[in-house]
Chain A
Amino acid sequence: MATKLSPKEYVKRGDRLTGGHRLCAGCGASIVARNVLKGAKDHPVVVGAATGCLEVSTSLYPYTAWEDAYIHTAFENVAATVSGVEAAYQSLKKQGKIDKPFKFVAFGGDGGTYDIGIQSLSGALERGHDFVYVCYDNGAYMNTGFQRSGATPLGAWTTTTPTGKVQPGKPQQRKNLTQIAAAHNVPYVAQASIHDFRDLISKAEVAFDTEGPAVLVVLSTCPRGWRCDVAQSVNMARMMVQSCYWPLYEVIDGKYVINYDPKKRKIPVADWMKLQGRFSHLFKPESQHLVQELQDYVDREWERLKALASLPNPGATTE
């Protein structure tokens, strides 16, 4: 289980994603990438990225923001690409051609993970490559101009679920990638958020130290696409976690562990929805019921998660 890094230790760990990249002010993606890499401690890392905001903004030729070796090939295949790098490393290591203790991490957005990349992710997890997969989930295809994804919440405005007379934003609930990943019975899966970066680093550290595949699904804000105040970016993530829309939890060898339970401090989803322009249409009387639908969904999922966490070992991979 991840134990939080002390603030002292935190400042000691340098940045492996440098400044000067072109992500928007307040973007969650760089917070994810920087803190995840701090979890790799002193290991050399090969970073893979799927096409998306993080990728285009950090590798503008002839510049790069990555201190580590980095590879991007396409959108739907970062897990496959990194599994190839890892396979090469294992082969060369076995032959005695390389001795450095490399770690491997693949970053994908929610589009590159929940949707177009889910096949290559599933394959790589099932094959058991020794790598960390990180989905920075900002709930839409931001890089191409805010289109809906399988991670977009119910009712949200996106450019492919615009609000109109007969459609109040996205008609469907989101899917649960974290539990899809957990269903692969990989040794470590965790959900984290950019607002609690010490928790994120600690989870990344566990993920890097885990032998075999590990998956981190991290709530990542997008002030541009969410139509919210840049200065409120990190706070937005905090509120979403506090509402239990985005619970912080781990699945360790099949055992669910909830890391944060707001209990009496649990806030309604409407509190943060009101602050994000992508939901503004839902606060008109005729679509108010959708706010309640999302609230009911979140409550139901939270209860289900608590039930899972109360089981001795639902995954049964170790006992």
Chain B
Amino acid sequence: MSATTDTQHLIQAVTGNQAVAMAMKQIDPDVVAAYPITPQTDVVQEFAEYVAAGSVKANFVTVESEHSAMSACIGSASAGARTMTATSSAGFALMWEMLYIAASMRCPIVMTTVNRALSGPINIHCDHSDSMGGRDSGWVQIYNEDAQEAYDATIMGFPIAEHADVRLPVMNMYDGFIISGAIGPLQALTDDEVKAFIGDAPTYPNLLNTDEPMTFGPFDGLHGFYFEHKIAQQRAMDRALNVIQGVYDRFAAVTGRQYNHLMTYCMEDADIAMVVANSAAGNARIVADQLRAEGVKAGVIKLRTFRPFPTAEYAKALANVKAVGVMDRADSFGGVGGPLYMELLSALYQYDIRAKTANFIYGLGGRDIFPQDVETGFRLLQAAAEGADLPKSRVYLNMKGA
């Protein structure tokens, strides 16, 4: 659809949080259980306004903590209700125990995680330490660059989560303040389009089925099926790769906006590439453009689907690249590098790709990332493509006193 002639899909100026709250209103789930935390707060507040105005049917459970938010979401989803929530940072950390339980009980919950640094020191600004730490919890994780992507991902949440081949919770990330609070363009779907896209919730075994009362969350004490249960979760993740791409494609058919597990930019003939998630992808593309203007074959891969990790697709996209940089907005202290870096190294190794690699840590606790910072990284890659070595240890971008 063309934005200029299409009056049904006018471009609006909204914050990331408003965009997501709008998507939640259009989805109109049966239950929302959430607790406020900066920078997610206005998602909850906006939704509360919709509840107060009677414009949604959702039962809004104003829980007393995020642990209870996720617990209530699990109860609700296990009762067969479409269930959503949103959080950030400390709230995400407080949900920790329940994140694993939500996934292992195969609850198709859709959650927005507005990325914010974990304490301490307490810091309200963006980094990815919250959601990156939850990467092994069994949730599908999708990272989003801007308000439009966050909105679109929210709408695509239930078709992925509820798919019979998947039945896993889905979390969508976007950057705190940078996207959550900044006003950007949004082209929304109509309510009818959203309803048609997500369809009615499928029925799955649930607590309110009197014909077949079932025990949910039993104790795997003596007989030992925990292992097989975990394998089943991994198999669902394997199947999710195709299902997610299918939902992306179906979404493209409706909106013209095509998403893929990884979003490549100038990668066809790239010698050097930067892998980056969320809002900093824009900076990386600007720098790639500048380098291209100089004749440097630079490209960018924006990470979108992180769980499940599309290993083969990264291997394919990077098969002919000489040097790859991975930008991590979170660290894994004492590890090989940041979480994205470790993931990518493993993917490349598995596919016998031996490009030179470097790990750029940036933006922790909301530290700005300027195009010149990304350029610093790209210049190292450029030199490496021409024969220089890359540092084995982390390279910090825009560190004070550097």
- Interface residues in chain A, defined as those with a beta carbon under 8 Å from any beta carbon in chain B: 44, 46, 48, 55-56, 59-62, 64, 66-74, 76-77, 79-92, 94-95, 98, 100, 102, 119-120, 122-124, 126-127
Contact = CB atoms under 8 A, between A and B. Distances in A.
Contacts of B31: 84, 87-88, 91
Q: How large is the interface on B (under 10, 10 to 19, 20 to 34, 35 or more residues)?
A: 35 or more
Interface stretch (B132-140, B173-181, B212-220): B212-220
A72 B72 contact: no
B94 to A, nearest CB: 11
Given A62-B223, A82-B75, A85-B75, A119 B64 contact: yes
B218 A59 contact: yes
A90 B59 contact: yes
Contacts of A74: 71, 97-98, 101
Contacts of B48: none
Contacts of B297: none
Contact of A76 (B67, B77, B219, B221): B67
Contacts of A86: 75
B235 interface: no
Contacts of A67: 213
Contact of B59 (A62, A64, A72, A91): A91
- The listed residue with most B CB atoms (<10 A of its CB), out of A71, A76, A95, A98, is A71
A48 B12 CA distance: 45
B220 A61 contact: yes
A86 B221 CA distance: 28
Contacts of A119: 64-65, 68
Interface of B: 30-31, 33, 57-59, 61-65, 67-69, 71-81, 83, 97-98, 101, 105, 207-210, 213-223, 225
Contact of A80 (B63, B80, B208): B63
Contacts of A92: 30, 79-81, 208
Given A46-B208, A71-B207, A120-B71, A87 B215 contact: no
B72 A69 contact: no
A88 B79 contact: yes
B74 A84 contact: yes
A80 B97 contact: no
B219 A73 contact: no
A68 B210 CA distance: 8
A71 B75 CA distance: 8
